[in-house]
Chain A
């Protein structure tokens, strides 16, 4: 069975500073995808960033980047220059067979002005 663990239920960051959200996963597959999704209050879940397991280079999307450590099965998200609009629940997810996603428990991010 696939499992995804987010050990930080809540995180906070000052506006314009950097924050890192942690995620670990467990899988027996050698080829898989990892994702970070953002879910603002009462709004739909949107994709923040994705990482293909076969790629060694860490994915980057503007202010968002990941630290993918395949051997350690770790997949953290770094948000630079945090903005008020980044406040949301963040979910780490792994794509399992059949393309369905296994999600972690989520990390609630607060951005303080």
Chain B
């Protein structure tokens, strides 16, 4: 296992279509995060899982967005009825909490979504 893997790397879709992205975390990591990054900005938190439980969702995550992590392994992020404003880089990260409760997050290369 060489790191966090995200697929696809690039996705171009027409407005109104649904898209789904996949993230495979580092195998021993039980925490998984989704962030969105627009051009020239820092990543913004969307949601986070500990094992299969979705523990927190940002207000940025509208009803058109849904994320799952079945069996606490890989995760999917689905966007329904895409809008041009959804165009961004979607980053996945994973981490494993140590005894102190904190650990660094390892990021994938991201999925770049373009809505036309």
Residue positions of A touching B, CB distance < 8 A: 4, 33, 35, 37, 43-47, 50, 52, 91, 93, 95, 98-106
Contact = CB atoms under 8 A, between A and B. Distances in A.
Interface string B42-58: 11110010000001100
B33 interface: yes
28 contacts: A4-B42, A33-B102, A43-B109, A44-B109, A45-B43, A47-B104, A47-B105, A47-B106, A50-B104, A52-B102, A93-B42, A95-B102, A98-B55, A98-B56, A99-B31, A99-B48, A99-B101, A99-B102, A99-B103, A99-B105, A100-B33, A100-B48, A100-B56, A101-B105, A103-B43, A103-B44, A105-B41, A106-B40
B108 A44 contact: yes
Nearest to A91: B42
A44 B48 contact: no
A1 to B, nearest CB: 11
B110 interface: yes
Which size bracket describes the interface of B in this complex? 20 to 34
A44 B91 CA distance: 9
Contacts of A103: 42-44
Interface of B: 3-4, 31, 33, 35, 40-45, 48, 55-56, 91, 93, 95, 97, 101-110
Given A101-B45, A105-B40, 10 more contacts: A4-B42, A44-B3, A44-B109, A44-B110, A45-B107, A91-B43, A99-B95, A99-B97, A100-B33, A101-B33
Q: Which of A37, A47, A95, A100: most chain B Cβ within 10 A?
A: A100
A98 B40 contact: no
Contact of A104 (B42, B101, B110): B42
B105 to A, nearest CB: 6
A45 B42 CA distance: 11
Contacts of A47: 104-106
